[in-house]
Amino acid sequence: MAILSKIRERSMALILVIGLALFAFVLDPSSIQDFFNSSNINTVGEVGGETISRKEFSEALEAYRAQYGSQITEMQASNDVWNTLIRQKVYQTQLAKSGITVGEADVWNALIETSSIQEDPQFQNAAGMFDQERLKEFLATVKEDPNQIDTWTAWTNYMAQIKDNLEYTTYNSLITAGLGASLKEGEFQYFNNNTKISADYVFVPYTSVSDSLINVTKSEIEDYIKKNEDQFKVEETRNLKLVKFNILPTANDETEIKEELSSLLEDKGDLKGFKNTEDLQEFFAENDSDLPLTNTYSFKNTVSAAIAENVFNGKEGDVFGPYKDNGSFKISKITEIRQMPDSVRASHILIPFIGSLYADQDTKKTEEQAKKTADSIYSLVRRNKTRFASIADEINIDMTKGKGGDIDWITTDVAFSPNFDADFADYLFFNKAGSVGVIKSRFGYQIIRIDESKNKQKAVKLATFSRQIEASTTTENTVFQNAETFALALSNGQAFDVAAKEKQLNVQPVIGLRVLDENIPGVGRQRDIVQWAFDSDNEIGDYKRFDVNGGYVVAVLSGQTEKGLMSAVKAAPIVKPILINQKKAKMIGEKMQGATLDAIAKNNATIVQSEASVSMQSPILTGVGFEPKLIGAFAAAKENTLFTNVAGEKGVFAFEVTKKELPVALPNYDTYRKRIEAQRKTQTNFMYEAIKKSANIEDNRAAFYGIN
């Protein structure tokens, strides 16, 4: 591979660089002292004044990795562990303020009430009832056994999760209990939502004033940002531009691979080719097929469309290909043709023996004894087939117990897969429905009855040798040189976009990359690129080439945002329209003069309009749109009183309420009270975020992951 060769070429230079860095470190002992005395090294974060130490975070991360293994990435694990620690500390603080503690007894009681614990046979007594003393004995044994450290760790993690959940539910329950509503509140909501208001109004839209007449300065935007800090807080981010050089097979690469497979078809002296070999297993191994030789039977609809028609018109020994299929070139040979169903339903009686897969602590039979038992039962059920189900229910210890031994339907793709027992599969698919027989499988001895089969049709067994279509070393080296040439152009001062355009390369922008991100769109998981982007030594315009899966990426740092408040330049698209409307509202307000609506309308070259039966429940003004502030002013206003200069969503209003039509009083407002209560209780879903926001969380994990 080109990447490996380049690494080897540069290995000596890399060793020298590392050596010099270590030498410099040794020459300056104070740097070592500073490193270990730095509080940032020992503190990963802070929640409400309480620190999360490097040790605490590392231990939690290690426990998480032990539980989930390679199923989850490093940064996913980091984020999950961080969020768990935050939640623990947030809720523990709130519970402590409330004088409530979730103790060991609470955790134990919750543990023993868990159904999975109560139903576990190892924690049950002879009567089949849960016995917590057995659980205590088990945990005490595991805790002291040095060979069961992982098991004990898993149990402590499980109990910690129970404690977390108890704290969460306890606090939420306390909050929810205090979120009731009174009948008076229900009555108020009923009248507020159902009062129909009629009003006359004058509407002067903001669009009536040209934007060109309004000047918004940078300092005004900055003042607005400062007054509304919560809306404009930003985290540290970076912007990149990327060009990716993909290592993809060329037409020449495909031709070479196809010719290679063609050469494997024929004999070469004493070496038998694919057509004539009598030992396919050896041929596949010696010639390094990308797919193993399988024992699977295929129907026409499961064979590659490239050869299906020819295969099902062929005979045993016929060879097909090379043909292209799913990113590979393949050659196939028919090794067997037969008629068989595509699925079979069967039942069995299972006799496990010592050493078989279904053997348990109660299994006493040797293989020979199991065979005798199986033969005896076979003779019995062959004479009296009605006994099969009852014997299966009495004897079987697998999931078919209580089902008369019914295994359900099995398809050929399952039966002839590598993990399925070959003897079992052969009996199922090569015998007729109604057949009963005895086989030895890895599960034990089985008396099998074929209950049904369906879709009997022609099937073939194909030996398919495969070679993936991938780039050659020559192609890899060419792509590497292209990436290096592009990087060289940048080192000579050529602008990134200009160089990319000249070489007809696609530039991919990456906006808002965060310090703990790991995925980059179009590139995948690339922590190296993220760490480089946040390195404090890098400046906008700096670039670097990275080796990535399937090629190379040249990245340039194109922008950066520091943690704090959004700059006036970046906030302008949000803030400027708001300030423009505020200034327009002031200008319109100066003209909204007059003792009556008619006078105000005349001063503004517009007309008086009317709205009938609008309500707070649906604050929409006909012909204008959503205007909650205005409709709220309607609701609060006295009838036949003039109000002016009400700045709404779409413009400025003057109005008089002409009529308020109250709804009929109800005998009871409990329905509305319950609605308010339900709405309040749903807000507990957002409560945690509110508490977390007030906890002043400081996240220093970037230092933990080596970003300076």
SS3 content of the chain, % helix, strand, coil (to 5): 50, 25, 30
**What pLDDT digit, counting tens, does each position of 141-194 carry?**
989 988 888 888 888 888 888 988 888 888 888 888 888 899 999 999 999 999
Share of the chain above pLDDT 70, in %: 94
- Which CATH number does the domain housing residue 657 bear? 3.10.50
Asked if residue 164 and residue 61 are part of one domain, the reply reads yes
Residues 306 and 368 in one domain: no
Does the pLDDT at position 34 exceed 50?
Answer: no
452: confidence class by pLDDT, cuts 50, 70, 90: very high
State in Å, rounded, how far the first CA of the chain is from the last one.
33
Average pLDDT over residues 489-517: 95
**pLDDT > 90 fraction of the chain, expressed in percent and rounded:** 70
Query: 687 lies in a domain?
Result: no
**Domain membership flag for residue 407:** yes
Range of the domain at 21: 1-37
114 and 204 within one domain: no
Q: What is the pLDDT of residues 344-395, one digit of tens each?
A: 999 999 999 999 988 887 888 999 999 999 999 999 998 888 899 999 999 9
Residues paired with 618 in a beta bridge: 615
Judge whether 595 lies within some domain. Answer: yes
Any idea what the CATH number is for the domain that residue 358 is in? 3.10.50.40
**Minimum mean pLDDT range among 140-149, 364-373, 497-506, 585-594:** 140-149
Q: Is residue 107 part of a domain?
A: yes
Whether the pLDDT of residue 227 is over 50: the answer is yes
- CA dist., res. 618 & res. 193, Å (int): 8
Q: Is 147 in the same domain as 102?
A: yes
Determine the 3-state secondary structure of 416 from DSSP.
Answer: coil
Specify whether the CB–CB gap between 81 and 45 falls below 8 A: no
160 and 224 within one domain:
no
Helix (H, G, I), strand (E, B) or coil at 121: helix
398, 329, 318, 309: which is closest to 359 by C-alpha? 398
352 found inside a domain: yes
In a shared domain, residues 481 and 546: yes
**Cβ–Cβ under 8 Å, residues 649 and 626:** yes
CA-based radius of gyration for the chain: 38
- Given a cut of 90, whether residue 17 has pLDDT beyond it is no
Q: Mark which of 339, 370, 398 sits at the end of a domain.
A: 339
- Which residues, at least 6 apart from 458, have a Cβ–Cβ distance to it below 8 Å? 299, 300, 312, 337, 338, 339
Mean pLDDT of 81-110: 88
Give domain status of residue 624, yes or no. Answer: yes
Q: Do residue 154 and residue 100 come from a single domain?
A: yes
Q: Is the same domain home to 440 and 391?
A: yes
Residue 706 confidence class, pLDDT cut points 50, 70, 90: low
3-class secondary-structure state, position 410: strand
Instruction: Assess whether 546 and 582 both reside in one domain.
Output: no
Among candidate residues 308, 339, 370, the one where a domain is terminated: 339
The residue from 454, 481, 501 where one domain ends is 454
Q: Is the residue at 20 inside a domain?
A: yes
**519-574 pLDDT, tens per residue?**
998 899 999 999 999 999 999 999 999 999 999 999 999 999 999 999 999 999 99
CA distance 113 to 105: 12
Q: Are residues 63 and 149 in the same domain?
A: yes
Residues 599 and 656 in one domain: yes
Task: Judge whether 462 lies within some domain.
Answer: no
Do residue 397 and residue 450 come from a single domain? yes
**13 pLDDT higher than 50:** no
Strand segments, DSSP code E, in 405-489 are 406-411, 436-441, 444-454, 457-468
Into how many domains does the chain fold?
6
Helices and strands of the chain, counted as H and E runs: 27, 25
What CATH number did the domain enclosing 102 receive? Answer: 1.10.4030.10
Is residue 408 predicted with pLDDT exceeding 70? Answer: yes
Cβ–Cβ < 8 Å for 446, 281? no
